[in-house]
Amino acid sequence: MFIQGHIVHNWKARWFVLTPDKLLYYKYEGGKRDSCQRGKILLKDCLITCPFLEYENRPLAFKLQTKHGVDHFLEACSREERDEWAADITAALNKLQATDGGKPMSQKDSAQSRLQNINLSKVLDSMYDVHSGIKLSNHVEQGSTYSNCFSGSAVVDWLVFMQLSLTRGEAMTLASALLEEGFLRTVGQRSVEALRTASLSEQFMDDSTALYSFSDSFKKRGSVKSERSLSAVELSGKVVKRGYLLKQGHRRKNWKVRLFVLRSEPDFLHYYDPTKDDISPVGGFSLRGCLISSLDDNGVPSGVKGNIQGNLFKIITKSDIHYFIQAPTHQEKMDWIDAIREHT
């Protein structure tokens, strides 16, 4: 069968395996099934719509909606195959419902019920948010370093702080839902072991040593945010100065107009693409330990290429990265140099 991607809405061939409570799928190429599982759909409290008539040009499609409101669209190769899969999945859903019937609602069940009104995709977007999202950082576990990840307790703290959950217990249930639906993944041995041994409602750990990250398939949506590890902290400082300057690229050495924003407490210099927005910077660095100097307009300094209009200055970061910048006028160049020096 085929499944539609969550981010890029293309259809991909996958090998599906139906278990009593899950629908697993694997990469399928050249008539062979990959051994690595690509995803899973938890069937408990799922709703199935077959046929799914909203896709007029895909009459063989059907929809599975999880208890968390996440839609999965699947497509068979024939009407017979579609109806057979739908019947088998429906039978599995009925067995799960019969097994779970008649139980009194526990506190965890109550939290799960509240979760049905939460859009997990919007929660994920909030976690990615460059201003208020969760901070990605490097962690060390048993001698191994894991980059662009966060601890379980940090996720729980963030969910409660953002008022997406009322209690830490409810936050753990919401985090488990993100994990179950494949929005998050385990990183390192501790969280992997917890996922293997714990029940579904307790598979996410409110623990500073249990590590998690965004799933690889969802990193594409916020690749700039995840790879650059921008935090809300570095963008929370007071704006001291802003203006348009020319910046030389590190690879192509071409010059591009960038909107520069200087912030204090903490001291950072960020730059933005003016053709897009002034919310998500395309780059930036801490000013602590930086060196800034004015460059002579006579001749082309080493490391500089292209059309030089003058009013050039250079910033060298603490990690020895060189930034060459041109201001529109001599006075603006000196104003920027003086402002930046105050925060180095």
Per-residue pLDDT of the chain (344 residues; tens, 9 = 90+): 888 876 556 788 888 999 999 999 888 777 777 777 778 888 988 888 887 877 767 878 899 988 888 888 999 888 889 889 988 999 999 888 887 664 544 444 544 555 556 788 888 888 887 777 888 888 887 777 787 788 888 898 888 888 888 778 888 888 888 888 788 888 877 777 766 655 444 567 788 888 888 876 554 444 333 333 445 566 777 889 999 999 988 777 788 899 999 988 888 999 988 877 667 788 888 898 899 999 876 666 666 776 677 789 999 998 888 999 999 899 999 999 999 999 88
Burial class (CB in 10 A: 0-12, 13-18, 19+), 51: middle
Distance, CA of 13 to CA of 165 (rounded, Å): 37
Count other Cβ atoms within 10 Å, centred on residue 40.
16
C-alpha distances in Å from residue 334, one per residue of 149, 292, 313, 322, 339: 40, 11, 9, 18, 8
**Do the domains spanning 2-99 and 232-342 agree at the CATH topology level?**
yes
Distance, CA of 344 to CA of 340 (rounded, Å): 7
Distance, CA of 42 to CA of 198 (rounded, Å): 15
The CATH code belonging to domain 2-99 is 2.30.29.30
Q: Where are the domains of the chain?
A: 2-99, 111-214, 232-342
| Nearest residue to 344 via CA among 266, 282, 250 | 266
Give how far the C-alpha of residue 292 lies from the chain's centroid of Cα atoms, to the nearest Å.
34
Distance, CA of 155 to CA of 148 (rounded, Å): 13
Contact call for residues 219 and 228 (beta carbons, < 8 A): no
Give the pLDDT score at 115: 59
Distance, CA of 166 to CA of 145 (rounded, Å): 33
Distance, CA of 259 to CA of 253 (rounded, Å): 18
Distance, CA of 194 to CA of 189 (rounded, Å): 9
| Nearest residue to 229 via CA among 136, 154, 151, 147 | 136
Distance, CA of 296 to CA of 308 (rounded, Å): 11
Tell me the fold of 232-342: PH-domain like (2.30.29)
| Helix, strand and coil in the chain, % to nearest 5 | 30, 30, 40
Helix axes 152-161, 168-180, angle to 10 degrees: 120
CB-side exposure of 37: number of CA atoms within 13 Å? 12
Give the pLDDT score at 89: 92
Tell me the fold of 111-214: Arc Repressor Mutant, subunit A (1.10.10)
Name the amino acid, one letter, at 170. E
Residue 58 three-state SS: coil
| Nearest residue to 194 via CA among 160, 152, 158 | 152
Distance, CA of 234 to CA of 263 (rounded, Å): 8
Distance, CA of 83 to CA of 1 (rounded, Å): 12
Distance, CA of 138 to CA of 127 (rounded, Å): 17
Q: Is the pTM of this model over 0.95?
A: no
